[in-house]
Amino acid sequence: MDDLPVDKVLVRRLCDRDESAFALVLDRWSGGMLRLARSYVSTEASAAEVVQETWLAVIEGIDRFEGRSSLRTWVYRILTNTAQRRGSREHQMVPSDELGQPTVDPQRFQSEGQPFPGHWWEPPPVWPEPEGGVLTDEVRGLLVAALEELPERQRVVIALRDAEGWPADEVCELLDITAANQRVLLHRARAFVRAKLETYYTQEETS
């Protein structure tokens, strides 16, 4: 998906005030940035402001970019810093219970003394495959709502990994978290969203 010029070329063009290069990154990254900003702030309008503010900082600071990370990581770090500053004003941090808890309801599994302890009572119900990979509006809405319900860190990770397609190591670098931590956050987030889809598809079948 990234057929942008390599960083070196891109950065040189940006420093040379090449407007087409700026338009390229602006159009390529703003959508993902808006989505990520929404993980920190509570309205679309604030997210748009965060993205705007980020790009202004990028224009202001591009000459000082040293290439210690990728350009994308650098831009996104400005975004997360900007969004976090604003986010902490907008809502209180939700305490997260990210570790230790099972991600699937324990009651789905047989307990000790049952014929197969630790195994499914009822396997997960079958889902319909979306036709040609196209989601219905209802499913889209459900996914967006599910993301909103996630704790901030889980939401940021799943947005970057699954919605934006970032590799794990770049997410770790951006958020300054370990690979193991990144995995736990992604796992919990995916399990949560999967469960929402399951509820939706199950209800749809019985209604």
Partner 1 sequence: MNELECRQFVEQVTAYLERALTPAEEQAFVDHLTECDGCERYLDQVRQTARALDALPTDALSPESRTALLNTFRDRPS
State the minimum distance, in angstroms, from the CB of residue 66 to partner 1.
18
Judged by CB under 8 A, the number of residues near partner 1 is 64
Select the residue interacting with partner 1 from 8, 12, 91, 140 (CB under 8 A): 140
Q: Which of 121, 39, 119 is nearest to 86 (CA)?
A: 39
How far apart CA 132 and CA 129 sit, in angstroms, is: 8
Select the residue interacting with partner 1 from 40, 55, 76, 166 (CB under 8 A): 55
Report the residue number, 19 or 204, with the smaller CB distance to partner 1: 19
Output the six-digit token pair for 38: 């929404």
Tell me the torsion sign for CA atoms 172, 175, 178, 184: negative
CA atoms within 13 A of residue 191's CA, in its CB half-sphere? 12
Interface characters, 57-76, with partner 1 (x: CB under 8 A): --xx----------------
State the minimum distance, in angstroms, from the CB of residue 88 to partner 1.
23
Select the residue interacting with partner 1 from 66, 99, 134, 203 (CB under 8 A): 134
Which long-range contacts (C-beta less than 8 Å, at least 24 apart) are formed by 197-206? 197/127, 197/139, 197/142, 197/143, 197/146, 198/124, 198/125, 198/127, 200/138, 200/139, 200/142, 201/125, 201/127, 201/128, 202/125, 205/125
**Is 13 one of the binding residues for partner 1 (CB under 8 A)?**
no
Report the residue number, 77 or 187, with the smaller CB distance to partner 1: 187
**Is 148 one of the binding residues for partner 1 (CB under 8 A)?**
no
Select the residue interacting with partner 1 from 4, 26, 57, 177 (CB under 8 A): 26
State the minimum distance, in angstroms, from the CB of residue 36 to partner 1.
10
